Structure 1
Amino acid sequence: MKFKLIQHTLAALFFLGTAWHSYSQEVLTVEDAVKIALENNFEIQIATNNSKIDATNVSLANAGILPNVEGVLTNSNSILDTKQTQADGSIRELNNAKNMNLSYGLVVNWTVFDGFKMFAKHEQLKQIEQLGNTELQFTILNKVGDVMETYYQIVQQQEQLKVLDTTLVISQLRLNLAKNRYTIGKASKLEVLNAEVDWNTDNTNLLRQKELYANTKTTLNELLARDLTTEFFVSEEVIIDKSLQYADLKTMVSSQNPQLQMQVLNKRIAELSLKQVKGDRYPTIGLNSGYNFTRSESSLGFVSESTGNGLVYGVTARMNIFNGSLQNRNEKVAKINVENARIYVEQQKNQLESQLLAAYTTYLTNIQLTELEEKNEKIAEQNLDITLEKFKIGTITTVEFRTAQLNFVNAKFRNNSAQFQAKISEIALKELAGNLDLE
């Protein structure tokens, strides 16, 4: 078909026209974009660091299980005017009497039992670490989803540019024909003016599309955390996975969705907080020991100097007997927090099932639309090809030709949009299922 030849020629001219000033631009694949985002994206980097903090916090010492060892030094001095009255009534006086007390050594304190709170705390730290990893996974899925959606927007807009470039050339052809016919007296000035207005309209649409194309590329560069002026082309190929099944996706959502997993972990953390609160009902037992050296000097008194060193040790125990019923209050609040966490889990499940069902319905509709719009584009293309031949020989009006031209442009736009929407639906479903391809 002649119009098919025009299309292929204009597609080649489109890329040659854009490549003369950008021959060194990279062709960015969606896999490359995802890889760059995983390495550079700021939100992913922050989430990664937060996850490292959570992992670092998991330790026996942070849970209070290990003993605490301290080095202690105390040195006190005084200069006093001192007066002492002895038992026999004699008086001893000394001005500027110097006194010194020095002690130093090691002190060990170790809580050996606190109602199992320390063990619950250690387990809670592990759960918080898992929560941090899950939050990192959620951030990664979110950002990768954004990158993929933006990438395929650029693919769509790149195709739209080709369509608009094609229709602009057709409008130019129509304008030239109208001018030629006007010159030889077979067309009116009105036909030339109409053709010129339509050419200007198509040129405006092309400029707007170029603006949108450039701005969307800037958005993708921002997501990739690289120089915003980095130029690139995107691959035109869009492969849509049409094999997704609702039952399989629902199973994956239950086991892999990060949002649901975060709520489950929050529930476990709340349960461990309750366990720690209950631990306050038990006694706390601690061991203390140390090795001390002491020295004291006094300018006035029975003992002018004394020293001592050796081992000190002991046991401390304490137990809450009554604290104004605060224990009951704290336990009641902790139990309510556990119940709220359970409700949040059920709420998240319900929301995800609703989102999955709606997204899957949209996915199926978009798959059907891709097939329909692809057929419609072929019909519109055939119609334009026939109309173009008739217009050349003057058997149809310019209005009929313009209608066929716009029908073709709209059919191409709808087909491109259907392909894009189907791909976005696929990405949304895989993101919900926690099953996006990150490689």
Structure 2
Amino acid sequence: MGYTKAFVTILLVILAASANAQLDKLSKDEATKLVLENNFGILIAKNQVAVAENNKSVLNSGFLPTLTANAGADYNRDDSVIEFPGQFNDDGSPREDLEINQAESQRYNAGLNLNYTLFDGLGRYYDYKALKEQYQLSELQARETIETTIVQMFSVYYEVARITENIEVLEETYQNTSERLQRAEYAFDYGQNNKLDVLNAEVDLVNDSISLMNERQLLENTKRDLNVVLNRELENNFSVDTTITFVEPLLLDDIMENAEANNVRLLQAESNMTINDYSLKSAKSVFLPTIGLNGSYGWNLNQSAASAFFPGVNNTTYSFGLGASLTWDLFDGGRGVTQIKNAKILLDSQDLLQEQLKQEVRRDIANAKGNYINRLNIYRLQENNVITATNNYERSNERYKLGQITSVELRQAQINLLNAKTSKNLAKYNAKLAELQLLQLTGQLLNTEL
């Protein structure tokens, strides 16, 4: 008797040491907010959208003129000797050499040049429209990243919830086995049964405690997984909301009606089609001329040193010019025509890919809807199975107390109840994850209360 009590006490201490304390609850809304603010993948996707937004600016369009400034300065200092061979002074003496030392000259210039393309065959017009469409595409790509990350986050969040509910079931199972062990001990002490019932209860209690300890360790590991997705401290402890609600059938019908129109992959395919169409139109600009304007303003100052024959001068010049140019590549060797042909082929390929994608998305949506309905039905069946297993266990427990069944039969009823409850938990969260996948495919994940 003393050994068994000590045995039970040790198990209770081990289980109590790892039991969850009163923890702050991480709600689904808070988890969604944290993942949107902190997740690395989402932050990178937002940066890519910011880059695309910069690219679609008029500053990157080619519609604005270019203005360049230039300036320069030169400085020279010369020492020279000028000889006059064969020349004589008035008195008949040879003419002396002329030395000019430290003769300085400077040149300064500054100017502005303005160039503006009036017309380039509509190339930059369609390139600019393509940049705007590229920005829309980057937003769709960021949306896909956000949706995928949210589904990933909730798959881990609901796994934490499932394990939490499983721990509650295991704790209840452990408590029932512990009570059974105490009853078996009392009955053995008073000679109402043999030692076998006590030993069976002790073995079952050890198995229940091991299952509970393993599940609690799994819960800690899964919480760390969720903290990674949320980009929080790994050891940040919390509890989660185990309440699950499903989309109303009428709302689900409305979602399915517009599924293809809101699917993010199809929207991206349409955006790519538009970009390729703009690229084709831009390529055709090779057949049209380019017209440009240019203007210039300049200032020059030339300070020359005095020489043997001329005095030093300062020469200042101001210049202003306007011009226009027309460039037309009448024949470029066929490169432009080849580019246009290739652009048409790429556009046709994109159209084929879009049709293929539509088929795949229709299939994925149909499969997701079927999976969701199937898993939801399984969950309903598992709920009924828990009721049946509960009734079976309660009746078996009463019959065991009356001595009508053995401890082995009671244990089987207990295991059946344990399996029924954990299977119900699994079915519930599987159904919810199937719903999330369906909402993602129909483009309504970010518009639905989860």
TM-score with structure 2 length normalisation?
Answer: 0.84
1:384 paired with 2:390, answer no
Once the two structures are TM-superposed, the CA of residue 428 in structure 1 deviates from its matched residue by 1.0
Once the two structures are TM-superposed, the CA of residue 328 in structure 1 deviates from its matched residue by 2.1
CA change 1:294–1:52 in 2 (3 A) is same
CA change 1:122–1:83 in 2 (3 A) is farther
1:50 paired with 2:48, answer yes
Once the two structures are TM-superposed, the CA of residue 295 in structure 1 deviates from its matched residue by 2.6
1:20-56 alpha-carbon deviations (Å, 9 max, x no partner): 9744x32222122212222332322222232122222
Once the two structures are TM-superposed, the CA of residue 103 in structure 1 deviates from its matched residue by 2.0
Once the two structures are TM-superposed, the CA of residue 74 in structure 1 deviates from its matched residue by 2.7
Once the two structures are TM-superposed, the CA of residue 68 in structure 1 deviates from its matched residue by 0.9
Unmatched tracts of structure 2, length 5 or more: 1-11, 83-97
Once the two structures are TM-superposed, the CA of residue 96 in structure 1 deviates from its matched residue by 8.1
1:236 paired with 2:242, answer yes
Match for residue 129 of structure 2 among 105, 123, 132: 123
1:434 paired with 2:437, answer no
Unmatched tracts of structure 1, length 5 or more: 1-12, 85-91
Instruction: Give the Cα separation in 2 of the matches to 1:30 and 1:280.
Output: 55
Instruction: Give the Cα separation in 2 of the matches to 1:325 and 1:93.
Output: 66
Percent identity of paired positions between Structure 1 and Structure 2? 31
Instruction: Give the Cα separation in 2 of the matches to 1:146 and 1:385.
Output: 39
Tell whether the 8 Å contact from 1:253 to 1:352 is kept in structure 2 after alignment: no
Match of 2:426 in 1: 417
Once the two structures are TM-superposed, the CA of residue 214 in structure 1 deviates from its matched residue by 1.7
CA change 1:151–1:188 in 2 (3 A) is same
Instruction: Give the Cα separation in 2 of the matches to 1:344 and 1:126.
Output: 22
TM-score with structure 1 length normalisation?
Answer: 0.86
Identify the range of structure 1 (64-73 vs 211-220) with the bigger mean alpha-carbon deviation: 211-220
Higher Cα Rg: structure 1 or 2?
2
Whichever residue aligns with residue 378 of structure 1, its letter is I
Match of 1:89 in 2: none
Once the two structures are TM-superposed, the CA of residue 208 in structure 1 deviates from its matched residue by 1.2
1:143 paired with 2:141, answer no
Match of 2:28 in 1: 30
Instruction: Give the Cα separation in 2 of the matches to 1:245 and 1:220.
Output: 30
Q: Secondary structure at the match of 2:249?
A: coil
Tell whether the 8 Å contact from 1:63 to 1:122 is kept in structure 2 after alignment: yes
CA change 1:330–1:95 in 2 (3 A) is farther
1:107-135 alpha-carbon deviations (Å, 9 max, x no partner): 10001111111111211121111112212
Match of 2:334 in 1: 325
Q: Secondary structure at the match of 1:65?
A: coil
1:34-113 equivalences in 2 (<5 Å): 34-77=32-75, 100-113=106-119
Once the two structures are TM-superposed, the CA of residue 19 in structure 1 deviates from its matched residue by 11
Instruction: Give the Cα separation in 1 of the matches to 2:199 and 2:19.
Output: 33
Q: Secondary structure at the match of 1:396?
A: coil
Q: Secondary structure at the match of 1:102?
A: strand
Whichever residue aligns with residue 141 of structure 1, its letter is E
Tell whether the 8 Å contact from 1:50 to 1:132 is kept in structure 2 after alignment: yes
Match of 2:90 in 1: none
Match of 1:175 in 2: 181
Instruction: Give the Cα separation in 1 of the matches to 2:363 and 2:250.
Output: 17
1:370-395 alpha-carbon deviations (Å, 9 max, x no partner): 22111111010000001111112221
Match for residue 366 of structure 2 among 354, 357, 360: 357
Whichever residue aligns with residue 348 of structure 2, its letter is E
CA change 1:97–1:244 in 2 (3 A) is farther
Once the two structures are TM-superposed, the CA of residue 149 in structure 1 deviates from its matched residue by 2.5
1:370 paired with 2:370, answer no
**Aligned length, in residue pairs:** 417
Whichever residue aligns with residue 316 of structure 1, its letter is S
Whichever residue aligns with residue 438 of structure 2, its letter is L
Once the two structures are TM-superposed, the CA of residue 417 in structure 1 deviates from its matched residue by 1.2
Instruction: Give the Cα separation in 2 of the matches to 1:226 and 1:244.
Output: 38
Instruction: Give the Cα separation in 2 of the matches to 1:83 and 1:285.
Output: 55
1:400-415 equivalences in 2 (<5 Å): 400-415=409-424
Q: Secondary structure at the match of 2:258?
A: helix
Once the two structures are TM-superposed, the CA of residue 247 in structure 1 deviates from its matched residue by 5.9
Q: Secondary structure at the match of 1:105?
A: strand
